Amino acid sequence: MSEKEDILEKTKSLYEFSLNSIQEGLKQQIDDLRNFCNSLSNANDEFVNPIFNSNLSTVFLKDIDHKVLLLGYSKDNSDEFNAFKEVFSGLRFLERYEDSFIDKIKYFREKYFKYEEIFFSYNDLFRIYDEYISEHIKNNGKGDSISEDNFLYSYGILIKDCIENNHILKDGLMINRDLFVEKFIIPLEALSKPLVTLDERANSVFIKTNIVLDAKSNMDNFKKSIKSSFEKDIEILEGIKSSIINLTKNNI
């Protein structure tokens, strides 16, 4: 073997050895992103925390002479050369992916937690009821009208049913936000709507329920958006992993 051929083989060996680490990192990153996407369906919105896999670093490319590497994959072997080009294109994607990954997670968390904080204002609905019932008691259990009495009674029933539903609350913690909205927020919004012009507190309840519903809708939309974005990333990462396997013939 000539010195030139020796250099070519050593360069290829170093390159493909480094690709083994990338391949393992891709497998772990794909699994991590799938777990994150699946966790977005959790009823209580407890997400796993996705992290960028350090094995996806492409800094090793700085130590490789690209001209020599290019010669190492002969154009005479079109399949190998095409596989090399696919891998190299994938590595270029990975060079930019860390920043993209971090930006996406940061943007999602900032926006999602902003709307989640608004969603948590549903606690005001319990406070309004407590104030309502206290005033009602002071008035010897009578409201200003029959409709107000009926509203307060139905309001209390909704709260009671929500608190006693162990599919919504367990040990004082909400375990299913979707069910909470379905069984409490939406019926309360419908209950208060006819009274918005007749009763100040009913109007406050109506406004608050709509604020909570809007926040929940925005939270759900952001989850769908980030899930769709990372599912596209998974597809790209799977393609890069397949191209590395095709080049190195090493299926980890």
Residue pointed to by tokens 């769709």: 228
Question: Are 184 and 158 contacting, i.e. CB atoms less than 8 angstroms apart?
Answer: yes
> Which DSSP string corresponds to 96-128?
HHHHHHHHHHHHHHHHHHHHHHHHGGGHHHHHH
Provide CB contacts within 8 A for 203, sequence distance 6+: 192, 195, 196, 197
Annotate 52-101 with three-state secondary structure.
Answer: CCHHHCCHHHHHCCHHHHHHHCCCCCHHHHHHHHHHHHHHHHHHHHHHHH
> Tokens at residue 168, please?
């919504």
Tally Cβ neighbours within 10 Å of residue 164: 9
Tell me what pLDDT residue 195 has.
92
Q: Which two tokens stand for residue 144?
A: 């200003």
Position 104 scores a pLDDT of 94
Q: Hey, is 196 helix, strand or coil?
A: coil
pLDDT tens-place values along the chain, 252 residues long? 566 666 667 777 777 888 889 999 999 999 999 999 999 988 888 888 899 999 998 888 777 777 766 766 766 677 878 888 899 899 999 999 999 999 999 999 999 999 999 999 999 999 999 988 888 777 665 555 556 678 888 999 999 999 999 999 988 889 999 999 999 999 999 999 999 998 888 999 999 999 999 999 999 999 999 999 999 999 999 999 999 998 887 544
pLDDT of residue 251: 47
pLDDT at 44: 84
CA distance 181 to 158: 12
- 149: buried, middle or exposed (CB in 10 Å: 19+, 13-18, 0-12)? middle
Is residue 4 a contact partner of residue 74, using CB atoms and an 8 Å limit? no
Inter-residue contact 237 to 30 (CB < 8 Å): yes
Q: How many helices (H) and strands (E) does the chain have?
A: 8, 2
